[in-house]
Amino acid sequence: FSEAVSEKSFFFILLPGLQEVVVVIQSQRNSYHARRSEQRKEEILQQAAEEGKGRPVVVLLHELTEYEGDWSILPALPHLFATYGQLASWFIFVEEETRLRLAALLRVLHRYPEHEEWFLGRGLHDDGASIIHHYAFSEDPSSFTYPDPSAGWAVSKPLLKRLAVRLQHESLKSDFTIDLHHEIALYVWEEGNGPKLTAVPEFCSQMRDNCATSFTTFLPDCGEPVPKTDVFVAVKTCHKFHHDRVPVVRATWEKDAGFLEFYSDVSDSSIPTISLGVPNTERGHCGKTFAIMRRFLSGAVPRADWLLIVDDDTLVSLSRLRMLLRCYDSREAVSLGERYGYGLLHKGYSYTTGGGGMVLSRVAVSRLMSSGCSCHSDDAPDDMVIGRCFTSLGVPITHSPLFHQARPDDYSGKLISSQQAISFHKHWNVDPLAVYKHWLKDDLPRDEL
């Protein structure tokens, strides 16, 4: 502190003041999320004014730089340290819907010497070996903890400084960003050379006494769900799955769709399926997906504001999706789902992962199809090609953790049990009917959804 030490400033030395705290709200560029994060910022600053213990810096992540890949946190750390490292002692990362109790947060930070490396949060661990974590720690999945994003997490300045220096001189082990907070924890841990996550009981996902953070919901109430007829559903299948995967869709979530078509490599009137003239491919489905988007814009199908593209082994809650879509403006170019990244440390691109379901506004589909972006082959990865196209067009990839590329068992039970999931993917070693009933089926009468 440059000012003369008074009794009040001496208190701040003993107990960190809010002026030593940077709160990073993991905001998104989509207009709905930008508004919500701005509201959260105003709430934090108003609370700080009422507390009278200093004013924190509140950063909206999507405004930090022009680079959309900052959402993956690691690319943003050097800039964060360079901008705020001289003034701040702690960096707190929260979701848009994470609530802070600043007085309780200061009490938590007081327990940890700020001149040491600290990585604080509510700990999650895998219940079993998980494909989304590349089966890391498969012999003992509970031995490694990573932060619950909804409860927020914190790093001290010495740790942030070391991470920022590392990031400027080394590459990540994988080009893909899949499960952000697990990957951040692995990078911080550095195979035992860095700190593990320190579990902090006051970092909470649900409010209780003494909580410094708490969380509301990933499925906000933005009003009445959009009508069924506002969502056109395209299910990608192929002949060899007509008799095992398609019946699961028909027995579970198809009945909740206003408009739904199955797209295959052959026409089958008993389902029915539609052949788009694209042969089945084993790797990616770019040719088929682009044909679906062309059909969506044509007069061959009923007009709808939104297009949902899913695989035939994706399970979906359409009622929850329609609730979520009420928050978004269909007049904007919107690409919504579970966000992955490729090469983000080196100015790569983001994409909505296909297995969890890709939701596109009509405006987004129209911009994409008129841009000239196309598949270099029918078996190119459709989700990655679309993501690269949207990146070049300046269309943000909007993330919702309610979409899942994998099965429920591949996620921390503590994490998904608090969600109202919209999708899960894959039928490996699970009963898909049971998965749908337990995780996705709503009990309300269908005329109320």
Tell me the mean pLDDT in the region 417-439: 96
159 and 48 in one domain? yes
pLDDT at residue 444, rounded to an integer: 54
269 and 182 in one domain? no
Q: What is the pLDDT of residues 36-71, one digit of tens each?
A: 999 999 999 999 999 998 999 999 999 999 999 999
Closest CA to 153 of 112, 185, 113, 191: 185
SS3 content of the chain, % helix, strand, coil (to 5): 40, 20, 45
Does 285 map to a domain?
A: yes
CA distances from residue 180 to 63, 184, 240 in whole angstroms, order as listed: 19, 6, 35
Distance CA 231, CA 229 (A): 5
Q: In what order do the strands lie in the sheet with 176-177?
A: 176-177, 339-342, 349-352
Q: Are 418 and 150 in contact (CB under 8 A)?
A: yes
Q: What is the pLDDT of residues 310-333, one digit of tens each?
A: 999 999 999 999 999 999 999 999
Structure tokens at 369: 């199809």
Does 223 map to a domain?
A: no
- Under DSSP, is residue 82 helix (H, G, I), strand (E, B) or coil? helix
Does 413 map to a domain?
A: yes
Does 33 map to a domain?
A: yes
Confidence band for 15, pLDDT divided at 50, 70 and 90? low
CATH code for the domain in which residue 56 is found: 3.90.550
312 and 184 in one domain? no
pLDDT at residue 169, rounded to an integer: 87
pLDDT at residue 281, rounded to an integer: 82
105 and 81 in one domain? yes
- Under DSSP, is residue 156 helix (H, G, I), strand (E, B) or coil? strand
202 and 282 in one domain? no
Helices (H) and strands (E) in the chain, counts: 14, 22
234 and 210 in one domain? no
319 and 271 in one domain? yes
How many domains, the chain? Answer: 2
Q: Are 382 and 354 in contact (CB under 8 A)?
A: yes
294 and 340 in one domain? yes
Q: Are 219 and 323 in contact (CB under 8 A)?
A: yes
Whether the per-residue pLDDT at 7 is higher than 80: the answer is no
Q: Write out the E strands in 174-311.
A: 176-177, 198-199, 213-215, 231-236, 259-264, 273-275, 306-311
195 and 324 in one domain? no
167 and 135 in one domain? yes
Q: What is the pLDDT of residues 150-184, one digit of tens each?
A: 999 999 999 999 999 999 988 888 899 999 999 99
CATH code for the domain in which residue 246 is found: 3.90.550.50
Does 113 map to a domain?
A: yes
pLDDT at residue 207, rounded to an integer: 86
Whether the per-residue pLDDT at 132 is higher than 50: the answer is yes
Whether the per-residue pLDDT at 16 is higher than 80: the answer is no
Tell me the mean pLDDT in the region 427-449: 81
395 and 345 in one domain? yes
The sign one gets for the Cα dihedral 23, 27, 29, 30 is negative
Distance CA 156, CA 112 (A): 9
Confidence band for 10, pLDDT divided at 50, 70 and 90? very low
Residue with token string 């691109």: 349
Does 447 map to a domain?
A: no
Q: What is the pLDDT of residues 195-252, one digit of tens each?
A: 999 999 999 998 888 999 999 899 999 999 999 999 999 999 999 999 999 999 999 9
Distance CA 15, CA 186 (A): 30
234 and 208 in one domain? no
Domain final residue, candidates 162, 194, 215: 215
CA distances from residue 223 to 29, 151, 220 in whole angstroms, order as listed: 22, 26, 9
Domain range holding 187? 18-215
pLDDT at residue 6, rounded to an integer: 42
Does 380 map to a domain?
A: yes
Domain final residue, candidates 182, 215, 248: 215
Look over the chain and give the mean of its residue pLDDT values, rounded to a whole number: 93
pLDDT at residue 82, rounded to an integer: 97
Domain final residue, candidates 181, 215, 249: 215
pLDDT at residue 13, rounded to an integer: 41
Does 81 map to a domain?
A: yes
